[in-house]
Each structure stands twice: as C-alpha cells, then as structure tokens.
Chains A and B, each alone.
Chain A
C-alpha cells in the first residue's frame, strides 16, 4: 500500500492538496488549520499534491515510479559509470 505523510510543522493549511486530490485522500481540519489524511488507502500516487504543495510538506513511499524517458542515450551511458 502507498504510504503518505504530511509534515505537520510544514503544512500551512492552504488546502491545495485537498483541492487537487482526485480521490479525496485529504480533508481540511479547521480546528488545527491544517490538512489531514483521511483515506490513505485511496491514494493513487499521482503525486500532484506533492508537486503542488508550496511547503513541500507531503511525502509518499512505497509507490510505483513511472518509467521516465532517457534524456540522451550517449549522455546516460557516460553517466552510468558514476552510478
């Protein structure tokens, strides 16, 4: 299962994550003025919330990272020796 965490001290309660999440993983806690995770099991790891969060308060774990394209084949081969 995908793990998702909100760093409490970083969250500013802007609710961008609440608005962007397509599966309603987050809710806004008015008392704390912060976002809270309500349905972590519904996270599809689109990572839109993490990209959007202005404070970088969201982290995901145990998710499938999409296969990115190579930037440049020759460059990638040269870089391989450093990896």
Chain B
C-alpha cells in the first residue's frame, strides 16, 4: 500500500505535468485553452457529484462540493467569505445568487508556482469548470466562478449561480 508521502509525490508529478501541458497549450492555441480546461473540470465535477444529494440551497450545495472534494482526495480547500461591507453571505443580483469564496490549498496554484507559470490562466479555468459541473448536478443550475484575485497563499473568487434551472436534458433524473 503506498504511503501518504508516495501518494502526494505522485499527485505532485501529475499536477506538474498538467501545469506544463496547460502552459504549452496556451502558447499553441491561445485563449481556446481555457475552454479545454473548463470542459475537463466540468466533466470531473459532474462525475464526482453524480451521487450527491440535490438541493436548491446554495450554502448546502457548497457544503456538498466540499464533501465531494474531500471524498475524492482533492486538495482544493475553499470557504465562503463575507466581508464587512456585505450584508449577507449570499447576495441576490440580476445575474443570480452570488457568494464570495476564498481558496486556500490549491493543487493548481502549486503546480503553476513549481515552474513559475502565471495564475488566472487556462488551468485555473479547470476549477471554474469543476464548480460548474458539480453545481449543475447538485442544483441543476448554471454557474460561473470569476477570479477576483489570485494571491500567493490564497485566491479570492466570486461564484454566481444563475436562477433559471438548466435546460440540459443530458442530466439524469433523480429524486
């Protein structure tokens, strides 16, 4: 049985490879690389959340996403954040329900730093895709994850969950 050290070393090697790959794709095809990473993340999010309970509550859905990430040993720790000048954690806007999220441990950030690749690139779109896929399964709603700030020790993002139920007919019906 592999030790934790060996598992982490394998993860590191895979992520460093992925970071180099994403950087190369960006150079070769430009902004189209974002769509590839987004779709890869979305498929991952949908696959991981296949059996997650359905809910219309955004806070409950975020707790489910955290559980899904932990269950699959993904190093993507995040938490909802409410600044002093924000009246509520979830803000309702014309675009949908918005929540600010702080991302701490992130294997993508570490992969990028390992080779000095810049943040907010195509690989960061994988996380956007992951949330989009997972929330589509859990809430049946489309969402966007905008990077407000990418820092050395943490990132600050805005999650917007649309109000209309997704018309994606490929989603399996569940109770």
A44 near B12 (CB under 8 angstroms)?
Answer: no
Distance to closest chain B CB from A41 (angstroms): 6
Query: Within B111-150, which residues are at the interface with A (CB < 8 Å)?
Result: 111, 114, 148-149
* Number of interface residues, chain A, beta carbon within 8 A: 21
Distance to closest chain A CB from B129 (angstroms): 22
B83 near A42 (CB under 8 angstroms)?
Answer: yes
A66 near B110 (CB under 8 angstroms)?
Answer: yes
B153 near A65 (CB under 8 angstroms)?
Answer: yes
Give the docked Cα–Cα distance between A48 and B9 (Å).
Answer: 27
Most buried by A among B5, B84, B111, B148: B84
**Residue of A with least CB distance to B82:** A42
Residues of B within 8 A of A39 (CB): 83-84
B152 near A22 (CB under 8 angstroms)?
Answer: no
Distance to closest chain B CB from A36 (angstroms): 15
Query: Within A21-71, which residues are at the interface with B (CB < 8 Å)?
Result: 22-24, 39, 41-42, 44-48, 51, 63-70
Give the docked Cα–Cα distance between A64 and B104 (Å).
Answer: 8
Asked if B48 is at the interface of the complex by the 8 Å CB criterion, the answer is no
Asked if A79 is at the interface of the complex by the 8 Å CB criterion, the answer is no
Give the docked Cα–Cα distance between A23 and B83 (Å).
Answer: 7
For A47, give its contact among B15, B16, B151 (CB under 8 Å). Answer: B151
Asked if A73 is at the interface of the complex by the 8 Å CB criterion, the answer is yes
Closest 10 CB pairs of A and B: A46-B151, A22-B149, A47-B153, A46-B154, A48-B151, A22-B156, A69-B12, A44-B102, A69-B110, A73-B9
